[in-house]
Structure 1
Amino acid sequence: MQIRLTSMCSLLAMVTALPALAEPTFNRIATFATPDNMADGEDKARPTSAEIITATEDGMTLIYTDSPLGVIGLIDITDPKAPKALGNIDVGGEPTTAKEVAGKIYAAVNTSESKANPSGKLVTIDVATKKIVTECDLGGQPDSVAAAKDGSFLAIAIENERDEDVNDGEMPQMPAGWLAKLPVKDGAADCASLQKIDVTGLAAVAGEDPEPEFVDINAKGDIALTMQENNEIVVVAADGSISHFSAGAIDLDGIDTKTDGKLTFTKKKEGVLREPDGLKWIDEDHFAVANEGDYKGGSRSWTVFKKDGTVVYESGPSLEHAIVAMGHYPEGRSKSKGVELESVDVATFGDTRYAFVASERASVIGVYDLTDVAKPVLKQILPSGISPEGMVSIPERNLFATANEVDLVEDGGARAQVMIYELAEGTAAYPMITSAGSEELIGWGALSGLAADPANAGTIYAISDSAYAAQPTIYTIDTTQTPAKITKAMVVTRGGDAAQKLDLEGIVADGEGGFWLASEGRSDKGVPHALLHVNDEGEIKEEVALPEALLDNEIRYGFEGVALVDGKLWLAVQREWQDDPKGMVKLLSYDPEEKVWGAVHYPLDTTDAKDAWVGLSELTVHGDHAYVIERDNQIGPAATIKKIYRVKLADLKPAELGGTLPVVQKELFRDLLPDLAVLKGVTPEKVEGFTIDAAGKGWVVTDNDGVSDNSGETLFWTIGDVK
């Protein structure tokens, strides 16, 4: 869970200190869901995507590729805080990238019937009429398009990517890829003058089978090209001469290399190939690459090269460590490539040159001050939608945008999104909670229940749920800092080892330094519902057996909160069990001294949304009331129930299990939907934790599902004094 990283202290402390800086800061100002670009009557339940994104030269329109629909999408950002749909343009295939020059969109389109028989075309679209002007046969499968600064020519990476299901993805797999150079004349691509630039025989890795990935052009007209699987970078000078060099390898220290449900950053990997994906020129002599990896590498890093191959800057695992501290680390990718830095953008806003580095798996953007190309300074990490694929800077309007490719419509999750950010004076809205700045790197995520420290107003506790089932953890949070700071991580143990088969969802301090914990359980996966008592070192000292009257009627959804009232424990059950009337859930009572169970019924709100349910996800006590979080399982605009209700303690009069239970009356305390919109992102599904600290201030947290099918964003905020 923790590793001492003295060399990282200054970097992580800098990220923590951001809110105090009185300097321009990027914050998200709007989110646009790609299904909104479909015309009336179209099936908006179809999967969509936003992959590569660019903007018109006037900065008023965003243009993105949507390969599942086979379209180019347009968004009006005349008012960037209120983006408007401009519709989709069918391009007759799978668009892989697009670039706008002088009122024309040049879209590369994959039309391949198979990996063995690749084909593609370049489509020229008039922005004003949204009509296709010309189409050029490219003779292969295109991946990336770049335009010369003066608009005189295009460069296109023809990847002809390998089939990963053939021979375990081993290379070579013909046909080979190549680089296309295409003049632009009279506002259209000059198809007849297309030049094929051969890049075979250059790379030491499968040189006979180059797979060009990403291309960019500097102000001099030099073309730089990554060949990701070949771990090679090629530079085609304006005069046509070609140079190239291996992207090389690096050693990584302090990383997690096992996908095991634990956040353990103590491992090493040596000689990891960079295998760069995205590339962007910084000036005429330097470019930056994001080392996503594909074939055999992926160094979790980004690098600045001189165009002769000299390494000017190497991030190593430093950005990944900063992402860990923000709770965005994708543990499920530990065995592979970690955060997978995929794309990079460079732009000058005012007097400051910035580099933007996108992490596909952590769903964030690292923002660096790139004034000194040899010493980039991490200024912010921006939250993005799930899997940011493309980025575009519009410095003349102080705007920046991301295209986020994953669409979880088939699983009832978030849709693909385009997100817009603005650089303005102020403080960073995100992160709201972090472990950055501590002497030890503390990995965290999937925060569920919250509990107050009975004696210290500035201290509360959180627990992680089954996303880290092999490492259930209690976190100590200092709420006097902004953002709130995780200062300690204590693993829950049984017999000296990390406790297994726990799904912690509720926590309350026992007043003696220890805690009572509620484990939701998954009866369909052999994880029991449980009530546990741990000491001040996290060791389980007591496991309370559930009575038959409960076990005989259990379902998958179990305990979601625990509270103490006059020495007795109360637990919230998330949803109806087999013996509950529809729309009623139990609030269970347990007397630790008498070993007696009881319950009352709590009436849930109702919803008519398809495949929706409503349940409880927290229970806490303050003053004369017990407070619960009641929520639906919906996300984004479909979410309607994210509320805090309260019940008078005087009404909590438990009856014996197995009989008729009294029904308590609830009072709406706060609708959380406005709070959840503060980051201008997607309304999250899981509002999981609520507590009221020793000074009477209420705190709320959302669960980021351990960054699995989730953007990884954790909202943590105070609702102020609770009276």
Structure 2
Amino acid sequence: MHSAKLLAALTAALLATTVSAGAAQYFNRVASFPVAQNAPEAEVTSSEIIAATEDGMLAIYSDSPAGGIGFVDLTDPKAPKAAGFLSLNGEPTSVTIIGDKAYVGVNTSESFTNPSGKLAVVDIATQAVEAEYDLGGQPDSVAHNAAGTLIAVAIENERDEDLGDGGLPQAPAGFVVIFDVAAKSLKTVELIGIAAIGGDDPEPEFVDFNANDEIVVTLQENNHIAIIDGKTGAVTGGFSAGAVSLTDADTKKDGALRFTGKQDDLPREPDAVKWLDADRLVVANEGDWNGGTRGFTIFGRDGVVLFDSGNALDHYAARVGHYPDARNKKGVEPEGLEVAKFGDDQYIFIAEERSSLIAVYKDTGAEPEFVQLLPSGISPEGLVAIPARNLLVTANEVDLRENGGVGSHVMVYELSEGEAAYPQLIADLDADGRPLGWAAISGAVADAEKPGILYAVSDSVLSAEPAIYTIDATAHPARITAKTIITRGGAAAQKLDLEGITLDGEGGFWLASEGDSAKLTPHALFHVDADGKILAEVALPDALTANGVRFGAEGVTRIGEGDEAVLWVAMQREWKDDPKGQVKLLRYTPASKEWGAVAYPLEAPAEGAWVGLSEITAHGDYVYIVERDNQIGDKAQLKALYRVPVADLVAAELGGELPLVSKELVRDFLPDLAGNNGYVLDKVESFAVDAAGNGFVITDNDGVADSSGETLVWSIGAL
């Protein structure tokens, strides 16, 4: 299917989520569970592969860094609870559940050349290991058949990516183990010699059973798919996963989203695989060695390609601000899969590790129908559907607590009638049918005349292509309808870290750029015309920058017209000459080029945190200021909107004592952020008041760099 056609279908599907009347059903997140609650003493903990009990009341996930499995009580799916943690003396890689037992693949390898592992049988009620079976190698995926009589284990015996060119062959070879549950016996299935690539070193990755007890297994680095008779252990079929050539791809880590590149003849190198029925299977083309085609493919059991998504997942991620430019070798990196039937509809769920999205499709028997995208923590790897309860549960592996970020989470979604809650901001396509890619919205201002129309900027995440985005916030979701590149000398401007934007009253804009001496980025204001051309650059005065630190301008707003116009700039944190707990609001008068400032009182931060400003917006008799801490998740304590009377903004000269303004709390944003049923995001960075007097809030997603990629957009109504 051509990408333009597929993207048109995706757009139509998205719009259908918001305009259709009747009984349309969509998945929406209802809860988020921090897995550190199960292992509070572990420095790093993760949720990777996840399974659910037959009644759907309990989920169990593998946690390799903590060395065990975690239990999550889903009795109330909107309030999941910690239900225990079991250490398994190794590195759990996968888990599957039959009745009252969990079967866990555990890696116990001492090296790449001496791999080992076991299948641990865990009694769920007592959370105790009942038995262990030597697998003879390093396990990866574990799955069971519908009857619960057989278990397949992919023994990967993974390669050392740092050895030589990191490629194949690297002995010992991998294989598949079939475990007979009743007889408690193991059968080894050799896979040597069946793949054209590295045939003497097969590396099985993922296994799945169909209703006929056939096992499909992906040999990822070998770019091969094999079919095994689960009852006899005979290899009965298989085929190369083939290659794909892509156009309109973003192939450079260059701080710009330019979907103009090509990738020729890349092997798919599939990771997860699931049977759709006895004759069709679907794979997620993650890549790992030489490939990864950024999408998913549906094959017939004979290897015939029935559908390939091409670059659609990449393009759609770019349109919702989730494209990982800084890690784009494999694009969104499809890795995990789930297939399940809810009512009469069979769904395909694709976990995108680098974009932190779940793409949801309906299986039509032919070309699948796109349904929606779901936000899923940071780096989703495992998924389990619980159709009897209309639930989908995802396991998200990354733990960033050591660096002040958020930990790993299990997230719960429910299928119900209504609208899709995500995305909340989506970009249109350009004239050539490519996505108007965006990320890291860091400041906004409203159109002076058109209610609901906003203009926003992104920060240094997209440093090679700084832009002003036109947003129609009257749409649901809000839509980026235009992207204007900031230019200097006819080329995209460099050395900008845009954090604020305001109208200049003459059809153009003033932009605030936060400086960073380490990157030779100046603290400055930029005056641009409606086409983004820089008309003037105004450096912050020496009297200010002599006491500068990294955290500079975070917002700019204009009060007055013509020669009477003044700009007010919110500085994020204290500089060296600021009293503790106070930051500057800078005043700049373009007509006279004069500077001044007042002091703004910050809220006191919690221990280990800091508090600063994120935005400033003039409206009526007040300027509205976003103040926040730098905390995320359950540590977040301050995300709020304050207002300062314009009458208080009597600036003094820089270098002396500054008058301290008064402030008044307008809105606590924490309930708004928590209302999305994920963890509380840290960066509320944009606030604008439109021509009708309605306030709009936008979060900054940091461009999916150590971030979930989520961007939230909402209105707080009339001020």
Q: TM-score, normalised by structure 1?
A: 0.96
Match of 1:359 in 2: 352
* Alignment map for 1:196-345 (pairs within 5 Å): 196-238=188-230, 239-242=232-235, 243-334=237-328, 336-345=329-338
1:450 matched to 2:444? The reply is: yes
Where in structure 2 are the equivalents of 1:13-32 lying within 5 Å?
Answer: 13-21=12-20, 22=22, 23-32=24-33
Superposed CA offset, 1:666-723 (max 9, x none): 000100000111210011111000010011010000000011000100001101011x
Is 2:683 the counterpart of 1:693? no
Q: Which amino acid aligns with 2:557?
A: A
Letter in 2 for 1:452: A
How far residue 7 of structure 1 moved from its aligned partner, in angstroms, is: 5.9
CA contact (8 A) 1:15 1:436 kept: no
State how far apart, in whole Å, the 2-side matches of 1:318 and 1:546 are.
44
Taking the TM superposition and a 5 Å limit, the aligned residue runs for 1:383-398 are: 383-398=375-390
CA distance in 2, matches of 1:456, 1:478: 10
Letter in 1 for 2:636: A
The residue aligned with 1:571 is 569
> 1:139 aligned to 2:131?
no
Query: What is the CA–CA distance in structure 2 between the aligned matches of 1:339 and 1:272, rounded to whole Å?
Result: 15
Displacement after TM superposition at 1:5 (Å):
4.3
Q: Are residue 618 (structure 1) and residue 619 (structure 2) matched?
A: no
Q: What is the letter of the counterpart of residue 403 of structure 2?
A: D
1:551-582 deviation per Cα after TM superposition (whole angstroms, max 9, x unaligned)? 21111110001011121111000000111000
SS in 1 for 2:667: strand
- Name the counterpart of 2:498: 504
Given the alignment of the two structures, is residue 71 of structure 1 paired with residue 68 of structure 2, yes or no?
A: yes
**How far apart are 1:145 and its partner, in Å?**
0.6
Cα deviation 1:306-357 (Å, max 9, x = unaligned): 11111111111112212211111111122x1110000111101011110001
- Indicate how the Cα distance of structure 1 residues 428 and 436 shifts in structure 2: closer, same or farther if over 3 A, else same: farther
Contact 1:521 1:557 in 2 (8 A): yes
Q: Deviation per CA, 1:517-552: give whole Å up to 9, x if none.
A: 000111233211110100011000001132211121
Equivalent runs, 1:442-481 vs 2, <5 Å: 442-481=436-475
Question: Which residue pairs with 2:510 in the alignment?
Answer: 516
Would the aligned equivalents of 1:326 and 1:436 in 2 still touch at CA under 8 Å? no
Matching residue's letter, 2:596: G
Name the residue aligned to 2:11.
Answer: 12
Instruction: Quote the residue 1:492 is aligned against.
Output: 486
- Ranges in structure 1 where 5+ consecutive residues have no aligned partner: none
Secondary structure of residue in 2 paired with 1:171: coil
**Partner of 1:11: helix, strand, or coil?**
helix
Q: Cα offset for 1:128? A: 1.1
Q: Judging changes above 3 Å, is the alpha-carbon distance between structure 1 residues 7 and 80 closer, same or farther for their aligned structure 2 residues?
A: closer
The count of aligned residue pairs is 708
Highest RCO, 1 vs 2 (Cα 8 Å, sep ≥ 6):
1
Question: Match of 2:591, as an amino acid?
Answer: E
State the 1:76 CA deviation: 0.7
Q: 1:656 aligns with which of 648, 653, 658?
A: 653
Residue 706 of structure 1: aligned partner:
703
Map Cα deviations across residues 142-194 of structure 1 (whole Å, 9 max, x no partner): 00111011011111000000000111202100000001011001xxx71xx21
Shift of 1:276: 0.2
Aligned alpha-carbon RMSD (Å): 1.3
Helix, strand or coil at the partner of 2:687: strand
Instruction: Write the distance in 2 (CA, Å) between the matches of 1:379 and 1:5.
Output: 17
Which segments of structure 1 move beyond 3 Å, counting only runs of 4 or more? 4-7, 238-241, 436-440
Aligned 8 A contact 2:189 2:234 in 1: no
In structure 2, the partner of 1:182 is 179
1:482 and 2:476 matched: yes
The C-alpha deviation readout for 1:246-300, integer Å capped at 9, x for no partner, is 0000111111000000000011111111000001111111111000000100000
> Structure 2: how far apart are the matches of 1:466 and 1:194?
55
Partners of 2:642 and 2:66 in 1: CA distance: 42
Per the TM alignment, residue 458 of structure 1 is displaced from its structure 2 partner at its CA by: 2.4
Please report how far the alpha carbon of residue 438 of structure 1 lies from its aligned counterpart in structure 2 after TM superposition.
6.6
Paired residues for 1:599-610 under 5 Å: 599-610=597-608
Letter in 1 for 2:503: A
Q: Which residue of 2 aligns with 1:585?
A: 583
1:151 corresponds in structure 2 to: 148
* CA deviation map 1:191-225 (0-9, x unaligned): xx211101000111000000000000011100000
What is the DSSP-based 3-state SS (H/G/I as helix, E as strand, rest coil) of the residue aligned with 1:410? helix
Q: Percent identity?
A: 55
TM-score (norm 2): 0.97
Q: Is the 8 A contact 1:349 1:398 kept in 2?
A: yes
What CA distance in whole angstroms lies between the structure 1 residues aligned with 2:357 and 2:205? Answer: 22
The 8 Å contact of residues 459 and 476 in structure 1, kept in 2 or not, is answered as yes
Q: CA deviation at 1:240?
A: 4.1
Structure 1 residues 437 and 257: alpha-carbon distance in aligned structure 2, compared to 1, 3 A threshold = closer
